[in-house]
A and B are shown apart, each in its own frame.
Chain A
Amino acid sequence: MSSSIDGINAALAATTAWLALGMLGLLRPHSVRWVGRVLFPISAALSLVLAGIGLASVLKAPQAAVLPLGLPDLLFHVRLDPLSGFFLFLLGVTATGISIFSAGYFRTGEGTPPGLMCFQYHLFLASMGAVLLADDAYLFMVAWETMALASYFLVTTHHRLPEIRQAGFLYLLIAHVGALGILLCFGVMHGTGWQFTFDAMRTAHLAPGWSSVAFGLALFGFGAKAGMVPLHVWLPEAHPAAPSPVSALMSGVMLKTAIYGLIRVTYDLLGTIRWEWGLTVLIAGSVTTLFGVLFALMQHHLKRLLAYHSIENIGIILIGLGLSLTYIGTGHPALGALGLAAALYHTLNHAVFKSLLFLGAGSIQHVTGERELGRMGGLARWLPRTAFLFLVGSLAISALPPLNGFVSEWLTFQAALLSPALESGVLRSVIPLAAAGLALAGALTAMCFVKVYGVVFLGAPRAPKETELHDVGRWEQTGMAWLAAGCVILGLAPVPMLRLLDHVARLLIGQSLGSQALRSGWLWLTPVAAERASYNPIVFLVLIVGVTLLTFVLVRRFYHGRLRRAPAWDCGFGGLDARMQDTAEGFSQPIRHMFGPVYEMERHLPSASDAKPRFHLEIRDRFWSVLYLPLAGLVEAVSRQVGRLQAGRISIYLLYSFLTTIFLLLFV
């Protein structure tokens, strides 16, 4: 057996080992010690190993194998190529942090016992691994549905609460509608050979019309999983309902499997790419980005807010993919490679910082028992380490240099700025609009996270604290620190990462990012050419820190460091209290004012004569009233009509069967 087969065997072994760990959790389902202190640390180590395997396989040629499992005629095919390797790396890196965190997180309490939870968690991980490794439609769909089911059970951990059951149902519903789309997409793509391996699909030649149909179905199916507008409605319901490590896993990794599926189908299986697809994805991405951030700003429930930011970031990834598809479709594969690299880079970045933020939200919830931003405040005093790690995540997601979020947005901008290479006037004028949308979203994200961090960690506590709070335990801190380190490293060393992505681009597009991009040394990021654009995060960081320290020393040296504490300035009125701080709703009020038409708002303003003045504000998603409620009404009406068939008498049912038989005999 050659060494090239070893990578895939190792990946399969790691995935199977996850499953086994989950089973072990069932041995002692109620023991927190067994699950938390033994199984989860092992799982974290396993994730790290898988990340290594993924990383190694990005550099290698694709390896395929057939498993002796599955149906007699349809054995499971698996394949490990740079694309799946990259996503395995993402899965492994993120799962490492989340598993370490989970080791300290699970406690006995209501809801699912920890052992069962451990089983579901690892089933979820293993199914995501299987999705990435699958090389035929059958295994892909089995793994995909297992992933949906496992996450459904995880979402409904606290199944005693009705709203959580409702969120779970909505999630399952949309996941299945999406899965239907994917299934149909594979159905279109299998061509004429009735072969469901991806290899057969790669070689099958589809008519342009059919390939566009397949692309549309794939975009619908994977878009539903990724949270693309208007299929996003499940996301802000399901993510807050799940326990935090699960939210982190869902937002950080599961959404990315949808991105993986979209890339796999579009770039790899469909073959010829058309620019119209790119334009569709670009527009969908821009809308999703702006929608996500505008609604995130309006949230006052921390995890819901993060969920809306996941929608936004999926939009950013889609913008990168849309640019890439547009460039490839118009015959500029080199530019397409840059767009793809930007999208993949952002995929990894989002996985890292969003998991970190969800874990941070979980820590806050554990310590304070609060989910509402309006009852937090000043937590940095009690949770200094969590506060610091959360700050890193906030700065990263706000796309501030020199952290990782900035690098991928920078690459996306660079890809968008290459639009003059296109011949079509429409495309050239749409791409800058997408870039403008991205710029606006980036700035609004920064505003949103200033709000979150300021309201949660800074200022004075808004609700009285009955007990002294303590920072989260060492396991949790280590898990978050691992992800925070990821934010910093991915931000400071973009060039090695880009080299990895170059392998993926060469596999999918057959085009390298170009020698210029990779030859300027590992410090200098120059995606096109050095004169065109360059970025060096390390110089950036060194300079800003250097000046900061130098100033500090100089001020101390030439003047003094004398300091006295005084109460904050209260304008001479006295009685400054915590309620005078801005609330989360207040902070985003200007945005609500300016982008008013976007929101569906229900507002109750207190009047001067009110005995009990009360301010009430509710902001709803317009898609509910415009799209989903009419749709639900339609489905209900149709099913009522269908319901008439159900007369309740056996002879009538027999008549149906009889007629069906006659019909089939006649026509088939």
Chain B
Amino acid sequence: MAIPFSWQLINLLAALLLLIAFAMLAQRRVTALIGLYAGQGLVLAASTAAMARISGLPHLYVSAALTLALKVFALPWLLHRVIRRLEIRWEVEPLINIPATMLVGIGLVIFAFNLAEPISQMASPITRSTLGIATASVLLAFLMMITRRKAVTQVIAFLAMENGLFFAATSATRGMPLVVELGIALDVLVGALIFGIFFFHIRETFDSLDIHHMEKLKEH
């Protein structure tokens, strides 16, 4: 085995990322979902730090710290607050049953892996493996967004999608320039806040966070 240990570590973290993405797909409770999201953030921070060690790029450390602060502590705390304030029912009712969703998920993973294969042939060996996983976690988050009914879950799915993109950025391109990363971090934060405000408005209008009610908004 010629692969150095740190790369194995990144591979393992990538696998964990995917594992958590699947766990989120299978999870029914919103609180647990937020916990999983925080876990994913932790994995992401660890992999960014590992990447920083391999590549010796100091700004990646900053981005790892940022990830840790934002995605493991700030956002989950915010989300917890929101759901407590809104008194959201814990159970998320998925539109399709969970095993079927997971099967679709497996299909997406195969698709993503095969999609990433030709691209990653050109890139460095470490990218080859992680790019597919990043693509897969983005697609899985998308799937979660489609199959869930509650607006909160959809937002969490959206944030998970961003995690996948971030992972692709750090692993494939060795991170973006720091300015861009800071910008994105800010965007995510602001986005989450806006969503939070939206929740309140949706509930005021419909007395529920079920996005089914929004179907009434279409023109007849």
Q: Is the CB of B100 within 8 A of A426?
A: no
Q: Is the CB of A429 within 8 A of B100?
A: no
A residues 409-431 with Cβ under 8 Å of B? 425-426, 429-430
Closest-by-CB residue of B relative to A594 is B99
CA gap between A638 and B5 in the complex, in Å: 68
List residues of chain A with CB within 8 A of the CB of B99: 594
Q: Is the CB of B110 within 8 A of A597?
A: no
CA gap between A425 and B114 in the complex, in Å: 7
Encode B192-217 as 1/0 by CB contact (under 8 A) with A.
00000000000000000000000000
A193 to chain B, nearest CB (A): 42
Q: Is the CB of B117 within 8 A of A425?
A: yes
Encode A577-617 as 1/0 by CB contact (under 8 A) with B.
00000000000000000100100000000000000000000
- Say yes or no for B113: interface residue by CB 8 A criterion: yes
B1 to chain A, nearest CB (A): 15
Closest-by-CB residue of A relative to B110 is A429
Q: Is the CB of B100 within 8 A of A597?
A: yes
Q: Which of A429, A433, A594 has the most CB of B within 10 A?
A: A429
Q: Is the CB of A425 within 8 A of B100?
A: no
Closest-by-CB residue of A relative to B116 is A425
Q: Which of B99, B100, B114, B117 has the most CB of A within 10 A?
A: B114
List residues of chain A with CB within 8 A of the CB of B100: 597
List residues of chain A with CB within 8 A of the CB of B117: 425
List residues of chain B with CB within 8 A of the CB of A594: 99
> Interface residue count for A (Cβ, 8 Å)?
7
List residues of chain B with CB within 8 A of the CB of A433: 110
Encode B107-131 as 1/0 by CB contact (under 8 A) with A.
0001001100100000000000000
CA gap between A594 and B110 in the complex, in Å: 24
CA gap between A182 and B110 in the complex, in Å: 35
Closest-by-CB residue of A relative to B109 is A429
CA gap between A433 and B114 in the complex, in Å: 15
CA gap between A429 and B100 in the complex, in Å: 19
Query: By DSSP majority rule, is chain B's interface helix, strand, loop, or mixed?
Result: helix
CA gap between A594 and B103 in the complex, in Å: 13
> Interface residue count for B (Cβ, 8 Å)?
6
CA gap between A430 and B114 in the complex, in Å: 11
List residues of chain A with CB within 8 A of the CB of B113: 425, 429
B139 to chain A, nearest CB (A): 15
List residues of chain B with CB within 8 A of the CB of A597: 100
Closest-by-CB residue of A relative to B132 is A425
A424 to chain B, nearest CB (A): 9
List residues of chain A with CB within 8 A of the CB of B110: 429-430, 433
CA gap between A426 and B100 in the complex, in Å: 22
Closest-by-CB residue of A relative to B117 is A425
List residues of chain B with CB within 8 A of the CB of A425: 113-114, 117
A401 to chain B, nearest CB (A): 29
CA gap between A612 and B208 in the complex, in Å: 44
Encode B83-101 as 1/0 by CB contact (under 8 A) with A.
0000000000000000110
CA gap between A429 and B114 in the complex, in Å: 9
CA gap between A430 and B100 in the complex, in Å: 18
Closest-by-CB residue of B relative to A425 is B117
CA gap between A429 and B110 in the complex, in Å: 7
Closest-by-CB residue of B relative to A596 is B97
List residues of chain A with CB within 8 A of the CB of B114: 425-426, 429
Encode A137-164 as 1/0 by CB contact (under 8 A) with B.
0000000000000000000000000000
CA gap between A597 and B117 in the complex, in Å: 33
CA gap between A425 and B117 in the complex, in Å: 8
CA gap between A430 and B109 in the complex, in Å: 12
A596 to chain B, nearest CB (A): 9
CA gap between A425 and B99 in the complex, in Å: 25
A552 to chain B, nearest CB (A): 43
CA gap between A603 and B110 in the complex, in Å: 37
B98 to chain A, nearest CB (A): 11
CA gap between A430 and B111 in the complex, in Å: 11
B residues 129-167 with Cβ under 8 Å of A? none
CA gap between A509 and B113 in the complex, in Å: 33
B110 to chain A, nearest CB (A): 5
CA gap between A653 and B113 in the complex, in Å: 63
B106 to chain A, nearest CB (A): 8
Q: Which of A425, A426, A594, A597 has the most CB of B within 10 A?
A: A425
CA gap between A30 and B99 in the complex, in Å: 59
CA gap between A426 and B110 in the complex, in Å: 8
CA gap between A429 and B116 in the complex, in Å: 14
CA gap between A187 and B92 in the complex, in Å: 59
List residues of chain B with CB within 8 A of the CB of A426: 114
CA gap between A594 and B98 in the complex, in Å: 11
B15 to chain A, nearest CB (A): 15
CA gap between A647 and B65 in the complex, in Å: 87
A443 to chain B, nearest CB (A): 16
A residues 427-483 with Cβ under 8 Å of B? 429-430, 433
B144 to chain A, nearest CB (A): 20
Closest-by-CB residue of A relative to B96 is A597
CA gap between A637 and B100 in the complex, in Å: 38
A601 to chain B, nearest CB (A): 16
B47 to chain A, nearest CB (A): 23
CA gap between A50 and B114 in the complex, in Å: 51
A428 to chain B, nearest CB (A): 10
Closest-by-CB residue of A relative to B118 is A425
A630 to chain B, nearest CB (A): 26
A residues apposed to B, CB below 8 Å: 425-426, 429-430, 433, 594, 597
> Can you offer 11 A-B residue contacts whose CB atoms are under 8 A?
A425-B113, A425-B114, A425-B117, A426-B114, A429-B110, A429-B113, A429-B114, A430-B110, A433-B110, A594-B99, A597-B100
Q: 10 tightest A-B contacts by CB? A: A425-B117, A429-B110, A425-B114, A426-B114, A429-B113, A425-B113, A429-B114, A597-B100, A594-B99, A430-B110
5 more A-B residue pairs beyond the given contacts A425-B113, A430-B110, A433-B110, with a C-beta to C-beta distance below 8 A? A425-B114, A425-B117, A426-B114, A429-B114, A597-B100
